Chains A and B, each alone.
Chain A
Amino acid sequence: MVSESKHNLTHLDQLESEAIFIMREVAAQFEKPVLLFSGGKDSICLVKLAQKAFWPAKIPFPLMHIDTGHNFPEAIEYRDWLVKEVGANLIVRYVQDSIDKGTATEEKGPNPSRNTLQTVTLLESIEEFKFDACFGGARRDEEKARAKERFFSHRDEFGQWDPKNQRPELWNLFNGKKQKGENFRVFPISNWTEMDVWQYIYKENIPLPTIYFTHRRDVVFRDNMWLANSPHITLMKGEEIQNKIVRFRTVGDMTCTGAVESTASTLEDIIQEVASARVTERGSRADDRRSEAAMEDRKKQGYF
Chain B
Amino acid sequence: MEIQEKEQPIDNAAYLNMDLLRFTTAGSVDDGKSTLIGRLLYDTKSIFEDQMEAIEEASTKKGKGYVDLSLLTDGLRAEREQGITIDVAYRYFATPKRKFIIADTPGHIQYTRNMVTGASTANLAIILVDARHGVIEQTCRHSFIASLLQIKHLVVCVNKMDLVSFSEEVFQKIKTDFENFSATLNIPDIQYIPISALLGDNVVEHSANTPWYKGASLLYTLENVHIANDRNHEDARFPVQYVIRPQTEDFHDYRGYAGTVESGIFKPGDDIVALPSGFKSKIKTIDFNGKHLDIVHPPKSVTFTIEDNIDISRGDMIVKENNQPQVSQDVELMVCWLSDKKLTLNGKYAIKHTTREARCVIKEIKYKVNINTLEEIKDNFEIGLNDIARIVIRTTTPLFFDSYSKNRATGSLIIVDEGTNVTVGAGMII
Contact = CB atoms under 8 A, between A and B. Distances in A.
Given A21-B301, A276-B7, A28 B250 contact: no
Interface in B400-430: 408-409, 412-414, 416, 421-423, 426
A4 B241 contact: no
A177 B20 CA distance: 30
A172 B101 CA distance: 15
B120 A56 contact: no
A28 B314 contact: yes
A168 B251 contact: no
A42 to B, nearest CB: 15
Interface string A269-291: 00110011111100100000000
B33 to A, nearest CB: 15
A239 B182 CA distance: 66
A73 to B, nearest CB: 29
Contact of B50 (A20, A25, A193, A279): A279
Contact of A179 (B15, B77, B299, B421): B421
B301 A17 contact: yes
Contact of B19 (A8, A25, A268, A271): A8
Contacts of A144: 74-76
Given A4-B228, A13-B300, A199-B16, A175 B290 contact: no
A173 B48 contact: no
B259 to A, nearest CB: 8
B63 interface: no
A175 B414 contact: yes
A10 B17 contact: yes
Contacts of B303: 55
A174 B421 CA distance: 12
A4 B231 CA distance: 11
Interface in B365-415: 408-409, 412-414
A173 B88 contact: no
B420 to A, nearest CB: 9
A276 B9 contact: yes
Interface residues of A, number: 72
A53 B117 CA distance: 26
B279 interface: no
Interface string B60-90: 0000000000000111111000000011111
Contacts of A170: 116-117, 120-121, 412, 414, 423, 426
A24 B94 contact: no
Contact of A168 (B50, B288, B338, B413): B338
B9 A56 contact: no
B409 A203 contact: no
Contacts of A280: 48, 50-51
Contacts of B288: 52, 55
B5 interface: yes
Most chain A CB atoms below 10 A, which of B58, B75, B77, B265:
B75
A58 interface: yes
A163 interface: yes
A203 B99 CA distance: 17
A11 B314 CA distance: 27
Nearest to B245: A57
A167 B250 contact: no
A170 B117 CA distance: 5
Nearest to B116: A170
A173 B352 contact: yes
B244 A54 contact: yes
Given A11-B19, A191-B101, A147 B241 contact: no
B87 A148 contact: yes
Contact of B301 (A28, A53, A203, A278): A53
B287 A177 contact: no
A195 B94 contact: yes
A236 interface: no
25 contacts: A4-B228, A9-B299, A11-B98, A18-B299, A24-B241, A25-B241, A25-B355, A53-B258, A56-B248, A56-B251, A56-B287, A57-B244, A57-B248, A166-B87, A168-B114, A168-B117, A173-B352, A173-B413, A177-B350, A179-B421, A191-B92, A193-B92, A195-B10, A276-B7, A278-B49
Per CB-CB distance, the 5 closest pairs between chain A and chain B, nearest first, are: A11-B20, A275-B10, A177-B421, A57-B246, A283-B50
